A and B are shown apart, each in its own frame.
Chain A
Amino acid sequence: MDPSKSRDSAESTRVIQFPNDVLERILSLIDSHRDRNAVSLVSKAWYNAERWTRRHVFIGNCYAVSPQIVARRFPNIRSVMLKGKPRFSDFNLVPPNWGADVHGWLAVFADQYPQLEELRLKRMTVTDESLKFLARKFHNFRVLSLLSCDGFSTDGLEAIATDCRHLTELDIQENGIDDISGNWLSCFPENFTSLEVLNFASLSSDVNFDALERLVSQCKSLKILKVNKSITLEQLQRLLVRAPQLTELGTGSFLQELTAHQYEELERAFIGCKYLDALSGLWEATTLYLPVLYPACTNLTFLNLSYAALQSEELAKLVAHCPRLQRLWVLDTVEDVGLEAVASSCPLLEELRVFPADPYDQDINRGVTESGFLAVSLGCRKLHYVLYFCRQMTNAAVARIVQNCPGFTHFRLCIMKPGQPDYLTNEPMDEGFGAVVKTCTNLRRLGVSGLLTDLTFEYIGRYAKNLETLSVAFAGGSDLGMKSILVGCPKLRKLEIRDCPFGNEALLSGLEKYESMRSLWMSACKVTLHGCKTLATQRPRLNVEVMKDEEIDDGQSYKVYVYRTVAGPRTDAPSFVQTLCS
Chain B
Amino acid sequence: MAEAEESPGEQEAGMPRPLFSGLSDISISQDIPVEGEITIPMRARARELDHSTLNESVRHTIMRDLKAVGKKFMHVLYPRKSNALLRDWDLWGPLILCVTLALMLQKSSVDGEKDGGPQFAEVFVVVWFGAVTITLNSKLLGGNISFFQSLCVLGYCILPLTVAMLICRLVLLAGQGPINFMIRLFVVVVMFAWSVIASTAFLADSQPPNRKALAVYPVFLFYFVISWMILTFTP
A and B: real partners? no
- B residues apposed to A, CB below 8 Å: none
